Structure 1
Amino acid sequence: MRRILLVEDNEMNRDAISRLLERRGFAVLTAADGAEGVRRCREELPDLVLMDLGLPVLDGFEATRRIKADPATAAIPVVALTARALTSDRDAALAAGCVDYDIKPVDLARLVGKIRALLGDGEAP
C-alpha cells in the first residue's frame, strides 16, 4: 500500500483529505506543521508528500526545501496542496522543490490522478 504524508495544519482539512485518500487505497500519515512534516518524512519515508504552504512553525516552502536537501528524502515527490491560487505561489512552490501543485478545495479525482501518475500507479482500483 502506498503511503502519503499529508502536512496540513487545518484539522478538518487533514481529517477529510485523509479519509478520502484512505478510501482510495492509500495509507495516510499526517503532520500538523512544517517542522513535524520534515521530521515525519525523515522517519517514515513515505512514497509522496502533500504539503500545505501556509503552515505554522515552518512554512511549506521551507519544509519542502529541507526535505529536498536531505539525501534520505530528496527523491520523495512533494506536491503543494494549498488555497493559494496565484501563479507566483505556484512558481515559488515549484522553485522550493515541489513537483506539482494543486489547489484547495480538493478535487479528489484530479488529486488522485496526479498522485498515481507521480507514483507510476496506473488507474485507481
Structure 2
Amino acid sequence: MADIDLDLYIAQREEARANGETEVYKFDFEGKTVEKTEGDTFTFKFKERDWVVRDSQFLTDDEKEQLEPLTADVDVAAWFMGETQYEEFLAAGGESWMFNQAFTDYGKKIRDELQGNPTRRNRSSRRAASKKSKQR
C-alpha cells in the first residue's frame, strides 16, 4: 500500500467542490480564466477587504508555463490575483509592491509552519520574555 494516495486526495477535493462545500474563485489573465478552490488560494487583507491569490504550491503545469515568461511585478501580481481583481486592488490604492509583500509573507508563514514554527512571536513579545528571564 502506498504511503500517499493522490487519487483519494483528488477525489475528496472533487467531492467537496461538487457538494458546494468549498468556495470557487475565478482568476482571469489574457483572456483565459482558471478556477481555484479555497485550498488552492490564500488571502490577504487590504483596505478592509480580503484579496484572494492563487497559491503557488498548487499551480498546474499549464499555469506554470503561463507564468514563466512574466517578469514585471505588475504582470506577476495581475496573474496571481487575476486581472479583474488586480484592477480592483489598484483602484483601492494597492500597488504591486504590496502584493509582493503579501506573497512573500505568506511564503514565510508556510515555511515556518512546515518547520514546526506555527507562529513567530513579534519583537516586543521576545523583548518582554527576555526581560522576564533576566529578572530571575
TM-score, normalisation: structure 1: 0.26
The higher-RCO structure (CA 8 Å, 6+ apart) is: 1
TM-score, normalisation: structure 2: 0.25
Q: Which has more helix, going by share of residues?
A: 2
